[in-house]
Chain A
């Protein structure tokens, strides 16, 4: 069965420092991978996605992520964090074709909460 692991529950970084949020997935074929961000009291917003092609993908708000098949990882990075980046970040994987009789649904990790120190 597919699964997503985000090993860090909570990370604190200083404003201006670099950031890397870890994500590992379990899926036999080439996965569709996503990173979403959720601010308090809000829904989830897509930061970036990987479907195929270049393994380094660029997203919104200066984020990027790198797909590494050998490590089953899709880590999210940002070179310089801003206070407004404080939020919860979710990694997700989707199946190609049908999964459990449905299409399109994503499996989410438990999320990593990011705090930013001034």
Chain B
């Protein structure tokens, strides 16, 4: 098993669809993250979960809804997205103990909104 697994790798959806991205980490980490990577923009932090509690919502539109049922799984629920939401969505995990831990990334879910 790779450290951080994301599914699906590719997703095409219409603006009225509802879909979800899934992330699973097998590293025993206590924090999980969603980042958005768009062309010509730096990676944007979307959400942070520490010990399953959301500790950061970086002004993300409500059409993105995260869910962290346990410390190993993280979801990103998508509904009524816009074409500008097309991007690579990266999940990451880390072990944070009073400071900053290195992030371990999944391979990403490439989302295209038509």
The complex places the Cα of A45 from the Cα of B3 at a distance, in Å, of: 11
Interface size on B, residues (CB 8 A): 29
Contact in complex: B103, A109 (CB < 8 Å)? no
Q: Is B61 an interface residue (CB 8 A)?
A: no
From 15 to 62 in chain B, residues with beta carbon under 8 angstroms from any chain A beta carbon are 31, 33, 40-43, 45, 48, 50, 55-56
Contact in complex: B56, A46 (CB < 8 Å)? no
By a CB distance below 8 angstroms, the chain B residues around A102 are 48, 50, 55-56
Contact in complex: A97, B98 (CB < 8 Å)? yes
How far does the Cβ of A28 sit from chain B's closest Cβ, in whole Å?
A: 15
Q: Is B102 an interface residue (CB 8 A)?
A: yes
Contact in complex: B104, A46 (CB < 8 Å)? yes
Contact in complex: A43, B90 (CB < 8 Å)? yes
A/B pair count, beta carbons within 8 Å:
73
By a CB distance below 8 angstroms, the chain A residues around B94 are 104
Residues of A within 8 A of B (CB): 4, 32, 34, 36, 41-46, 49, 51, 90, 94-97, 100-111
20 A-B pairs whose Cβ atoms sit less than 8 Å apart in the complex: A32-B99, A32-B100, A34-B103, A42-B107, A43-B6, A43-B105, A43-B108, A44-B103, A46-B102, A51-B99, A90-B43, A102-B56, A103-B48, A104-B33, A104-B48, A104-B100, A105-B45, A106-B45, A108-B43, A110-B41
Residues of B within 8 A of A (CB): 4, 6, 31, 33, 40-43, 45, 48, 50, 55-56, 90, 92, 94, 96, 98-108, 110
